Amino acid sequence: MMAQVDLYEVLHNLSKHYGDNCSNCKEVCCVNKILKVNLEDIQKMSKLLGITLWEFRKKYTTLLNTFLKEAAQTGKKILSVEKETEEKNIRILKFISTEAVFNLGEKKVKASYCPFYARDTHRCTIHDSRPKACRHYPYRLMPDDETFEVRKVSTCIISDNFLRRFVKVISSFKDVKTITDKIEKDLKSKQYFDHYPIPKSLVERYIKYEISENKVF
Ligand code: SF4
Ligand code: SF4
From 11, 22, 130, the mutation candidate for ligand 1 (largest count of ligand atoms within 8 A of CB) is 22
Nearest alpha carbon to residue 32 among 163, 188, 154: 154
- CA atoms of 175 and 93, how far apart (whole Å): 45
**Alpha carbons 75 and 100: distance in angstroms, whole number:** 20
The minimum-distance atom of ligand 2 relative to the CA of 123 is: 7
- To 10 degrees, what angle do helices 53-60 and 39-49 make? 100
For the stretch 55-61, contacts whose Cβ atoms lie closer than 8 Å and that sit 24 or more positions apart, written own/partner, are 57/89, 57/92, 57/93, 57/102, 58/84, 60/104, 60/115, 61/37, 61/102, 61/103, 61/104
Provide residues with CB under 6 Å of ligand 2: 30, 35, 114, 116-117, 124, 126, 130-131, 134
Q: Among all ligands shown, which has an atom nearest to the Cα of 15?
A: 1
CB 28 within 8 A of CB 22: no
Distance CA 35, CA 75 (A): 27
What pLDDT, in 10s, does the model give residues 135-152?
999 999 998 899 999 998
Q: How confident is the model at residue 112 (pLDDT cuts 50, 70, 90)?
A: low
Task: Please write the tens of the pLDDT for every residue from 26-43.
Answer: 767 887 666 778 778 888
Q: What is the pLDDT of residues 34-91, one digit of tens each?
A: 677 877 888 899 999 999 877 887 788 776 555 555 555 554 544 444 355 666 666 6
Which of 25, 26, 59, 126 for mutating ligand 2's site (highest number of atoms within 8 Å of CB)? 126
Q: In testing the pocket of ligand 1, which one of 158, 160, 192 has its CB within 8 Å of the most ligand atoms?
A: 158
